[in-house]
């Protein structure tokens, strides 16, 4: 066992020994052994007691963005305190402490993006080795697996890469609600539903933290659009905030104890997220018991850093001089020092934040003396990227069982996206991966692909692609569709057995998508392509399969009847082409289900009229965003108001069929145990088809009508079967706690389960028509939790702006 003794030092006459145990060797992925969190806190307290207020404040402010030379923003390497083994591509740091006179020697901590893997610089000057991260499927695709173990495995693999590349914190997972499909960062998030989002995030955190690195759940809270992301003021009722936008965070805090929470850029109800005490202290710490550190998003807020610290946002990122580019010469550290000297920021507040930051810093590989290898097992992780992605792929349509296609099939592969295949989204969530298998190569590895048509696409791509750098974070590659006449298309269709059309859509940080052709809608070229291929194929009795390699959903109603099968692959990571071919060939029986509803038209979306906000001061910029649909986000809206959708939340087909036995109420302790009670159900699921497959069973509960407005039904539990062979069955059991059954009553500041008869639909999707419910009763009201009166309230100037009610 190694022991690092940071220092033996004298304070007065007391000798203080500081040490952290490590028991790891290079390449070992087990968690670093060491003290439990209480002991880390005690150590942090004793160390902070030996620091000056200035040393403490230096830990509360990052040294500035991207100290690497290829970024254009501020660089301030001198401000970075005590970094050991710096890693090119690190996007932020927590300063360490080095003081010869007190003997303190705490290493700076290195923070790494992004959601779908680890993003560091893959090549280094004068070094022939490479440092690629594995590009895993984006979070939406991982959530579409509804498989918590897979998400945990991916989290663990990412954590291992962070640790083996010498970093300490993962700046993910993001779990903002997919309120509107046009949010440019939806791919980094899981779902329109808070339960699914929270459970996925908790699994990701548990996976990553199991190897001894920190995870950071973000962006707290309501970062649901990229338009004016640095300042937009989101007006959200306390009930919608708690039930929809914060509930997943609450779950993740309770079930995975993340080392960090990252506050959002945006304002909520008139307060910057990172400067709102209601959020960062009253709710997050006092109500939920979070004891980790809270950091800001990079350059978030209006530059009032003392307010940030006082709100409970302990760490200002990226800190340093980089802030100048937005707020003039505001230097965060200087501002804190001034505030301290003037008494505006008191010693106790600084100390509390310093203890919280240091408690986590001490746990990190950098402070545990971990000898990283720079050699994570990228081969094993590529395999995990492939299997995890293929488990999330959603089969939306499969008329006459056109899929899977036989390996002997000759494929006419259309669409520029087959060569311009997207592994992930752009921005901080992008990963510098060693390669991306494009769809064409993936298909060619498992089928015979028309080589003349492939060559045509490859040549067109080489000659016409454009590459745009996005802030040094990503390279955006775009390319038009090659011009193909209907006659040429017919020829290719004639010469092959089946047509596959790949459609791609990227999206990115900092920009929302548009309800326009080429984005939420098909472009004219794509519409024509689908039309021409379908006409030619159907005239010859051949089938057309569309693959959607998209960052988020697109409109489908206008074209889906023209094609025979639709495969929603989202952004599947670096093995993209292999993943898609695995599903088309039947190597993998698809078992993904939608984590967001697909509306018939953009106008049907409950936030269609409010997204992405309004420009109230006529300066040409959106500044205020009214969440006027309240709790009616996604399926909660469509199901309650009988608004038809193209595909419902929770929907996905398989190459086999599953039959459910009669669901049973196993137990109901709600009446005897109140807030500690739960209700349990079970159902038998049998594979009644011809191939092995997995199914996802969902429990939607309809509450009786009571005092509070309620959606028709809400997802309260789910489970995924094992891979069931034909005729095999499995009994799934679901528990719904009183806490998850409850709704927030803003008038009484309580989470309550109202009395009456509840109906539980054990269902294949959120569409529960024809599903016979199991009922259970709650005899008297259960108060599950008390919350802080007045917390999270709307600004006084806002009246009743919620326009959607179910009463
Ligand atoms: C993003 C965060 C990210 C951070 C560091 C910000 O612009 O919003 O999600 O972790 O940059 O790259």
Q: Is the CB of 40 within 6 Å of ligand 1?
A: no
Contacts of 740 (CB under 8 A, 6+ apart): 195, 716, 717
Q: Which pLDDT does position 319 carry in this prediction? A: 85
> Is residue 631 situated within a structural domain?
no
- Is 439 in the same domain as 568? yes
Q: What is the pLDDT of residue 303?
A: 87
- Parent domain of 414: 393-590
Ligand 1 center from residue 806 Cα (angstroms) = 37
Regarding whether 460 and 332 lie in a shared domain, the answer is no
**Within the chain, which residues score under 70 in pLDDT?**
1-38, 65-77, 321-329
Predicted local confidence at residue 114, as pLDDT? 84
Q: Cα of 352 to ligand 1 centre, how many Å?
A: 25
- Residue 17 confidence (pLDDT): 27
**From the CA of 111, how far away is ligand 1's center (Å)?**
11
Mention every residue, 6+ apart, whose C-beta is less than 8 A from residue 752. Answer: 708, 742, 743, 745, 781, 782, 783, 784
For residue 451, the CA-to-ligand 1 centroid distance in Å is 42
Strand order in the sheet with 756-763: 714-720, 696-702, 756-763, 774-778
Listing DSSP states for 619-669 in one string gives: SSS--EEE-TTTT--THHHHHHTT--EEE-TT--B-SS-EEE---EEEEE-
**Alpha carbon distances (Å) from 213 to 59, 451, 730:** 19, 47, 36
Q: Which residues contact 618 (CB under 8 A, 6 or more apart)?
A: none
Check residue 327 and give its pLDDT: 59
Contact 166, 365 (CB under 8 A): yes
- How far does residue 231's CA lie from ligand 1's centre (Å)? 15
449 and 565 in a single domain? The answer is yes
- Please name the residue whose Cα sits nearest to atom 4 of ligand 1: 298
CA of 324 to the centre of ligand 1 (A): 17
Task: Give the position, in ligand 1's atom list, of the atom nearest the Cα of 219.
Answer: 9
Estimate to the nearest angstrom the gap between the alpha carbon of 523 and the chain centroid. 28
* Strand-pair category, 267-268 with 233-235: parallel
Q: How far is CA 305 from CA 80, 91, 246, 792, in A?
A: 19, 20, 24, 21
Residue 474 near ligand 1, beta carbon < 6 Å: no
Which CATH number belongs to the domain containing residue 78 in this structure? 3.20.20.300
Token pair of 516, please? 């326009």
* Residue 316 DSSP label: B
113 lines ligand 1 (CB under 6 A): yes
Looking at the fold, whether 218 and 287 belong to one and the same domain comes out as yes
Question: Are the CB atoms for 110 and 365 separated by under 8 Å?
Answer: no
CA 89 to centroid of ligand 1, rounded, Å? 13
Ligand 1 pocket, 739 CB below 6 A? Answer: no
Pocket test for ligand 1, best of 113, 115, 225 (most atoms within 8 A of CB): 113
**What sign does the dihedral 205-207-210-214 (CA atoms) show?**
negative
Domain-located, residue 601: no
Query: In angstroms, rounded to a whole number, what is the distance separating the alpha carbons of residues 779 and 757?
Result: 9
653 in any annotated domain: no
Distance 428 CA to ligand 1 centre (A): 6
Residue nearest to atom 9 of ligand 1 (CA): 428
Residue 386, in any domain of the structure: no
Residue labelled with tokens 């901590």: 109
| Residue 172 CA, ligand 1 centroid: distance in Å | 9
Q: From 535, 568, 590, give the residue that closes a domain.
A: 590
Instruction: Report the nearest atom of ligand 1 relative to the CA of 429.
Output: 9
Atom nearest to 218 CA in ligand 1: 9
From atom 3 of ligand 1, which residue's Cα is the shortest distance away?
Answer: 428
CA distances from 626 to 263, 276, 596, 607, 709 (A): 20, 19, 21, 9, 19
Q: Report the residue among 299, 425, 509 best suited for mutation to probe ligand 1: largest number of ligand atoms under 8 A from its CB.
A: 509
Same domain, yes or no: 82 and 222: yes
Q: Which of 567, 590, 613 is the last residue of a domain?
A: 590
Considering the domain architecture, whether residues 456 and 317 belong to the same structural domain is answered as no
Are residues 235 and 196 both part of a single domain? Answer: yes
Residue 21 burial by Cβ neighbours in a 10 Å radius (0-12, 13-18, 19+): middle
Q: What is the SS3 string spanning 362-395?
A: HHCHHHCCCCCCCCCCHHHHHHHHHHHHHHHCEE
Instruction: For residue 617, tell me if it sits in a domain.
Output: no
Domain of 583, CATH number, reads: 3.40.50.1700
Instruction: Tell me how far the alpha carbon of residue 213 lies from the centroid of ligand 1, in angstroms.
Output: 18
Query: Which one of 294, 428, 473 would you pick to mutate in the ligand 1 pocket, going by the greatest count of ligand atoms within 8 A of its CB?
Result: 428
Q: Are 283 and 791 in contact (CB under 8 A)?
A: yes
Q: Do residues 245 and 287 share a domain?
A: yes
* DSSP β-bridge partners for residue 474: 470
Residue 360 and residue 431 in one domain: no
* Ligand 1 pocket residue status of 263, Cβ below 6 Å: no
Report the DSSP pairing between strands 543-550 and 498-505: parallel
Same domain, 343 and 433: no
Residue 221 lies in a domain: yes
pLDDT digit string, tens, across residues 64-100: 765 444 444 444 567 789 999 989 889 999 999 999 9
| Number of domains forming the structure of the chain | 2
CA quadruple 180, 558, 398, 438: dihedral, nearest 10: -70
Residue that terminates a domain, selected from 557, 590, 623: 590
Q: Which atom of ligand 1 is nearest to the CA of 174?
A: 9
Residue 20 lies in a domain: no
Whether ligand 1 lies within 6 angstroms of the CB of 298 is answered as: yes
Q: Is 297 in the pocket of ligand 1 (CB under 6 A)?
A: yes
Name the closest-CA residue to atom 7, ligand 1. Answer: 298
Ligand 1 atom having least distance to the Cα of 229 = 8
Q: CA-to-CA distance for 332 and 318, rounded, in angstroms?
A: 10
Question: What pLDDT score does 65 carry?
Answer: 63
Clarify whether residues 145 and 194 are in a common domain: yes
> Which residue's C-alpha comes closest to atom 8 of ligand 1?
297
| Shared-domain flag, residues 363 and 418 | no
- What is the reported pLDDT for 805? 84
For atom 6 of ligand 1, the residue with the nearest CA is 298
Could you tell me where the DSSP H helices lie in 302-377? Answer: 305-311, 324-327, 332-342, 347-363
In a domain, residue 204? The reply is yes
């Amino acid at each position: 066992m190694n022991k690092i003794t940071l220092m033996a030092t004298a304070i007065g006459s007391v000798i203080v020994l500081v040490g952290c145990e490590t028991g790891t060797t290079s390449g070992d992925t087990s968690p670093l052994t060491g003290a439990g969190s209480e002991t880390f806190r005690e150590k942090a307290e004793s160390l902070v007691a030996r620091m000056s207020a200035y040393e403490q404040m230096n830990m509360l402010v990052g040294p500035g963005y991207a100290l690497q030379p290829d970024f254009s923003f501020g660089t301030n390497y001198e401000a970075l305190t005590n970094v050991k083994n710096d890693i090119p591509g690190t996007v932020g740091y927590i300063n360490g402490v080095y003081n010869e006179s007190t003997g303190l020697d705490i290493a700076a901590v290195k923070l790494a993006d992004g959601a779908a893997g680890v993003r560091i610089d893959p090549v280094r000057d004068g070094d022939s080795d490479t440092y690629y991260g594995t590009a895993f499927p984006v979070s939406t695709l991982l959530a579409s697996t509804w498989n918590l173990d897979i998400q945990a495995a991916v989290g663990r693999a990412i954590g291992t890469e962070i640790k083996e590349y010498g970093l300490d914190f993962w700046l993910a997972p993001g779990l903002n609600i997919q309120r509107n499909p046009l949010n440019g960062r939806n791919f980094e998030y899981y779902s329109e539903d808070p339960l699914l989002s929270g459970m996925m995030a908790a699994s990701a955190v548990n996976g990553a933290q199991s190897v001894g690195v920190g995870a950071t759940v973000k962006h707290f809270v309501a970062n649901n659009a990229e338009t004016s992301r640095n300042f937009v003021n989101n007006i959200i009722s306390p009930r919608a905030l708690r039930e929809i936008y914060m509930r997943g965070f609450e779950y993740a805090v309770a079930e995975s104890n993340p080392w960090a929470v990252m506050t959002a850029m945006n304002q909520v109800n008139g307060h910057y997220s990172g400067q709102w005490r209601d959020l960062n202290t009253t709710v997050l710490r006092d109500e939920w018991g979070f004891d980790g550190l809270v950091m800001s998003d990079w350059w978030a807020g209006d530059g009032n850093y003392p307010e940030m610290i006082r709100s409970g946002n302990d760490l200002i990122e990226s800190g340093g001089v980089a802030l100048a580019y937005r707020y003039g010469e505001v230097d965060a550290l200087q501002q804190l020092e001034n505030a301290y000297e003037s008494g505006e920021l008191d010693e106790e507040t600084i100390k509390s934040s310093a203890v919280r930051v240091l408690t986590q810093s001490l746990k990190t590989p950098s402070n545990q003396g971990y000898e990283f290898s720079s050699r994570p097992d990228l081969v094993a992780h590529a395999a995990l990227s492939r299997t995890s992605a293929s488990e999330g792929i959603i089969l939306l349509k499969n008329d006459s069982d056109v899929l899977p296609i036989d390996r002997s099939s000759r494929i006419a592969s259309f669409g520029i996206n087959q060569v311009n295949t997207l592994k992930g989204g752009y921005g901080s969530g992008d990963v510098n991966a060693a390669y991306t298998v494009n769809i064409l190569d993936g298909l060619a590895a498992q089928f015979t692909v028309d080589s003349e048509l492939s060559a045509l696409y490859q040549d067109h791509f080489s000659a016409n692609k454009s590459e745009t750098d996005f802030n040094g974070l990503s390279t955006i590659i775009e390319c038009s569709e090659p011009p193909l006449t209907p006659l040429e298309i017919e020829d290719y269709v004639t010469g092959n057995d089946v047509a596959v059309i790949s459609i791609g859509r990227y999206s990115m940080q900092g920009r929302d998508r548009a309800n326009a052709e080429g984005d939420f809608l098909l472009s004219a070229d794509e519409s024509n392509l689908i039309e021409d291929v379908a006409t030619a194929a159907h005239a010859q009795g051949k089938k057309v399969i569309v693959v959607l390699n998209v960052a988020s959903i697109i409109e489908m109603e206008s074209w889906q009847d023209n094609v025979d099968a639709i495969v929603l692959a989202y952004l599947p990571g670096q093995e993209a082409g292999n993943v898609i071919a695995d599903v088309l060939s039947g190597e993998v029986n698809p078992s993904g289900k939608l984590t967001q509803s697909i509306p018939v038209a953009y106008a049907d979306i409950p936030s269609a009229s409010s997204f992405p906000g309004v420009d109230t001061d006529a300066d040409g910029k959106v500044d205020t965003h009214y969440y006027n649909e309240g709790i009616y986000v996604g399926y909660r809206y469509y199901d309650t108001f009988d608004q038809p959708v193209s595909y419902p939340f929770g929907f996905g087909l398989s190459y086999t069929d599953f039959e459910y036995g009669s669901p049973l109420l196993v137990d109901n302790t709600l009446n005897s145990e109140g807030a500690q009670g739960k209700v349990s159900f079970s159902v038998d699921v049998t594979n009644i088809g011809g191939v092995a497959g997995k199914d996802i069973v969902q429990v939607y509960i309809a509450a009786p009508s009571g005092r509070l407005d309620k959606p028709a039904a809400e997802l309260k539990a789910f489970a995924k079967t094992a891979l069931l062979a034909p005729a095999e069955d499995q009994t799934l059991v679901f528990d719904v706690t009183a806490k998850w059954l409850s709704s927030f009553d803003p008038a009484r500041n309580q989470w309550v389960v109202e009395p009456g008869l509840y109906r539980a639909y054990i269902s294949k999707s959120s569409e529960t028509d024809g599903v016979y419910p199991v009922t259970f009763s709650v005899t008297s009201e259960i108060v599950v939790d008390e919350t802080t009166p007045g917390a999270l309230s709307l600004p006084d100037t806002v009246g009743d702006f919620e326009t959607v009610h179910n009463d």
